[in-house]
Amino acid sequence: MLRFMPVGDSMTIGSSGEHTWRYRMWRHLCATYGGPFTLTGPRETLYDKTTDSAASHAYADPDFPRGHLAGWGEGWLHMAPLIGDAVRETGADVLLVSLGLIDLGFYTNAEQTAENARVFAAEARAANPRIAMVWLPVIPNIRAADDAPFAAQVARFNELLAKTAADLDEPGSPLLLASVPESWDIGTDTYDGTHPNANGEHRLASAFAEAMHQGWGLGGEYAG
């Protein structure tokens, strides 16, 4: 049984009424991965905007393994201290990670955020020395379109993340850097300039799927 753990912020946890890219990934793996697998994590809920809490079970389609480690307003800073226990508790084999926007927007600069990504990797490997990881760079959002210094921090962090991923990649614990979905459009891929709509969910799942297919020969090409 191969256990995938989605790790992320509001783009990964999703909110009430959504499918989430996690669901799209599960459907993709059902169609292309030739062995037993599941999605796992210490959390299962969506974010409920009406109560400002991660307490919703109102998935558009709840019939899939809903485990994850994602939170609205959480970043590398928050997940680095949690990932070790999460990996130990769930037996996760592969981490699908989309973090950084929250860090850069509210907590840390590009260099500090990259250092927290490095700590995250160390904690995950302390829990499972053979853990595999796929990291997605930060996708510029509507703030980056209007705030040049913030956009520069996003670009700088993505450069550092690529260098960190290359530096930390090991044969026994591989680390892939996925690509930002080509021609990502905040007008057609998000519902508010940041969070993915249905089209964006597919594109996020595709980014992880293509990285694993091309880098490890796992699964197949993403067909939606």
The pLDDT tens digits for 114-158 are 999 999 999 999 999 999 999 999 999 999 999 999 999 999 999
- SS3 sequence of the chain: CEEEEEEECHHHHCECCCCCHHHHHHHHHHHHCCCCEEECCCECCEEECCCCEEEECCCCCCCCCCCEEECCCCCHHHHHHHHHHHHHHHCCCEEEEECCHHHHHHHCCHHHHHHHHHHHHHHHHHHCCCCEEEEECCCCCHHHHHCHHHHHHHHHHHHHHHHHHHHHCECCECEEECCCCCCCCCCCCECCCCCECHHHHHHHHHHHHHHHHHHHCCCCCCCC
Residue segments in the chain with a per-residue pLDDT below the cut of 50 = none
Largest Cα separation within the chain, whole Å, is: 46
Task: Give me the CATH topology for the region 2-216.
Answer: Rossmann fold (3.40.50)
- Does the predicted TM-score (pTM) go above 0.75? yes
Q: What is the pLDDT of residue 87?
A: 98
Q: What is the pLDDT of residue 156?
A: 98
The structure tokens listed for 217 are 């020969």
The amino acid sitting at 34 is G
Task: List the domain boundaries for the chain.
Answer: 2-216
